Structure 1
Amino acid sequence: MQPTPVLCGIGTSLPDNVVTNDDLAAYLDTSDEWIRSRTGIRERRVVRPGTATGDLSLAAAQGALKSSGSASVDLVVLATTTPDHRCPATAPDVATRLGLVGVPAWDLSAVCSGFVYGLACAASFVRAGAARRVLVIGADTYSTITDPGDRATRAVFGDGAGAVVIRAGEPGEPGALGPVSLGSDGSLRDAILVAAGGSRQPLGGDGAARDGRYFAMRGKTVFRHAVERMTEAAERVRAEAGWSGTDVDCLVAHQANLRIVQAVAARLGVPAERCALTIERLGNTAAASIPLTLADAACSGRLRTGSRVLLTAFGGGATWGAAALTWPDVTPVAA
């Protein structure tokens, strides 16, 4: 019988540096009311100088391994848009720092959909019998790529990391990962973009390259496509799982914007009280958004063993994805 991928551990890591809306208003043309009314965000965590994505990834991974009851895995997948270096990948370094020398490890770039893409990757390896245990990390430090003077992006993003362990298990057991749906549309590549730093526009001394080194986003375009694609992917997964709107015990949507989450929930027919939210306290943590929100929901008691959970995300590329799982009997471990 083909093994079933089962979530068996979860860990998180957040910087200790809390940045409130009032902190941003001290040097940006903005206010707490302006930010809250448009995004639902009150505060976010920001790394201090010297802390990189790999550091947060390591701490979250250590928590996930401890939560799973074993430090052994067969491969490591790190979803991130903000690796420690453009070259090499960050995942091998994280794996080595975990004591997993020789274990395959790679970075996965699907922006805010990265964690769902990572889950799909882990599930495929488990179902194929190519791995028994997979560590999936979602981590980003968007404070390192947002323009300090741009209120539209600086106010939205926060830093953080979340990780899970996926193991081979049996169908129907708590933690079992169900259907997964992924998609992309490269015609939207400039809707979410860091223009400079790649081979198309290398970093250099010219003004265009300097201007393009920061994250840029076409907000209205992203809002519309995020709602449409997250809903479509979630509906596809839910139908394949045989769940109705009221069968979903908890919707964990990418925490891009409170209004996006609310719009997706309404279209799916999931009651608002069944939506897990961290956007107010953490902002948009990109690839870390879903695992951080899962851990928060578990710690608050919103998720219980056997809860039916629907995940959905949208990110640059454009990319999107959704997945269904039943919640296991696990205790999240925070760094």
Structure 2
Amino acid sequence: MKAAITATAKYLPDGVVTNHDLERMFETNDEWIRSRTGISERRIMEDPCKATSFLCGEVAKQLLEKRGIGADEVELIIVATMTPDMLFPSTACLVQDIIGAGNAWAFDLNAACSGFIFALNTATRFIESGAHKKVMVIGGDKMSSVVDYTDRSTAILFGDGAAGVLLEPAESDDYGVLDARLYSDGTNGKDHLLMTGGGSLHPASHETVEKRMHFIHQDGRQVFKSAVTAMADTAAEIMQRNNLDAENIAWLIPHQANQRIIQATAERMGLGMEKVMSNIANYGNTTAGTIPICLAELDEQGKLARGSNLVLVSFGAGYTWGGMYIKWQ
């Protein structure tokens, strides 16, 4: 059987940091940021007592309400995140507790910005095998917790947010998740986008804090170049494998890292921007949250018609990247 999305939900915190706010923090300006990234503002979780599990928990509550089911019906919860509340227990277990899903098992998946696609593909296999009938897949990150707000190159990019879907058996094999292509390249990607402190190699210490090792470090030029190629190539591969063309694709839903990357991917697919979901201006890069936030907004706006062909593509640290083809049920 195929796996289909039966509910979507998103949660964005109330705090807003605009480009003009950043102008007061370091040398930059609104025009410079927008022209290079497409970002105008980003959401920030201002309450220091709330973390990624809160964002994802709010999403999980909405999914239950929208689908009209009880938490005891959920069999598996997968949370894609690179900013867990703590190394262990998993954020997924914390979400399980928040909604009271006592019959579910739960785990986290870390593929950085590609996390949601990796998690959705994983969940799909549990549905296809017949092992489970209701799986929550949530992508969420509190990126403000790992962003160095003295580093202009990364501070302008990221925001906080989460979104997710409920996955269930499709009505027929003609609908749901129909194809996926996932990739990793640690050889070329491991040194260009990373956080060096806090793991078993460099546990937290006075030295790691002083060296600012608990923040994101990125070789922006190299990551941009790799992302443009990988996302465009994967989108083209998904189209070729499934006999899709620009005419029969309803929406391209790309990871929201940079508007120029989004446009380059659309051009490779021969798509006009009217068929491309982009909300990067409002939220920035919420890493594992970007694609499900896009899905939730399209769903809320009534733009996902039955039979719509959707192509999802992403790229993240690792490197990790991939694409999916979904026919909306």
**Do the two structures share a fold, i.e. TM-score over 0.5?**
yes
- Aligned twin of 1:183: 183
Give runs of aligned pairs for residues 168-317 of structure 1, distance below 5 A: 168-172=169-173, 176-187=176-187, 188-206=189-207, 210-317=211-318
Contact 1:201–1:209 (CA under 8 A) maintained in structure 2: no
TM-score under structure 1 length normalisation: 0.93
Quote the residue 1:18 is aligned against. Answer: 16
Change over 3 Å in CA distance of 1:311–1:147 after alignment to 2:
same
**Partners of 1:10 and 1:163 within 8 A in 2:** yes
Kindly indicate whether the alpha-carbon contact (under 8 Å) linking 2:315 and 2:321 is maintained by their aligned counterparts in 1: yes
Q: Distance in 2 between matches of 1:304 and 1:44?
A: 29
The two structures, once aligned, show a CA RMSD in angstroms of 1.4
TM superposition shift of 1:82: 0.2
What does residue range 1-335 of structure 1 map to in structure 2 within 5 Å? Answer: 3-48=1-46, 49-71=48-70, 72-172=73-173, 176-187=176-187, 188-206=189-207, 210-328=211-329
Residue 27 of structure 1, CA deviation: 1.5
Residue aligned with 2:56, SS: helix
| Whole-angstrom distance in 1 between the partners of 2:323 and 2:69 | 27
Paired letter, 1:88: P
8 A contact 2:253–2:294 mirrored in 1: yes
Shift of 1:296: 1.5
Question: In the TM superposition, what is the alpha-carbon distance from 1:195 to its structure 2 partner?
Answer: 0.7
TM-fit CA distance, 1:114: 0.3
SS of equivalent residue, structure 1 residue 297? helix
Aligned-residue sequence identity (percent) comes to 38
State the AA in 1 paired with 2:10: T
Deviation, structure 1 residue 172: 4.7
How far apart in 2 are the matches of 1:208 and 1:70?
45
Give the unaligned 5+ runs of structure 2.
Answer: none
| Cα distance in 2 for residues equivalent to 1:63 and 1:207 | 39
1:129-181 deviations in whole A, cap 9, x for unaligned?
1111110000001100010111111111010000100001233555x111011
Q: Which sits farther off after the overlay, 240-249 or 83-92?
A: 240-249
Separation of aligned partners in 1, 2:103 and 2:200: 30
In 2: Cα distance, 1:81 partner to 1:70 partner: 29
- Flag the 1:167–1:25 CA change in 2: closer, same or farther, 3 A: same
Number of aligned pairs?
325
Distance in 1 (alpha carbons) for counterparts of 2:181 and 2:210 = 36
Contact 2:75 2:103 in 1 (8 A): no
Of stretches 206-215 and 139-148 in structure 1, the one that deviates more from structure 2 is 206-215
What is the TM-score normalised by the length of structure 2? 0.95
- Please tell me whether the aligned partners of residues 202 and 209 of structure 1 are also in contact (alpha carbons under 8 angstroms): no
Task: Give the partner amino acid of 1:89.
Answer: S
Residues 11 and 55, structure 2, Cα contact 8 Å, conserved in 1: yes
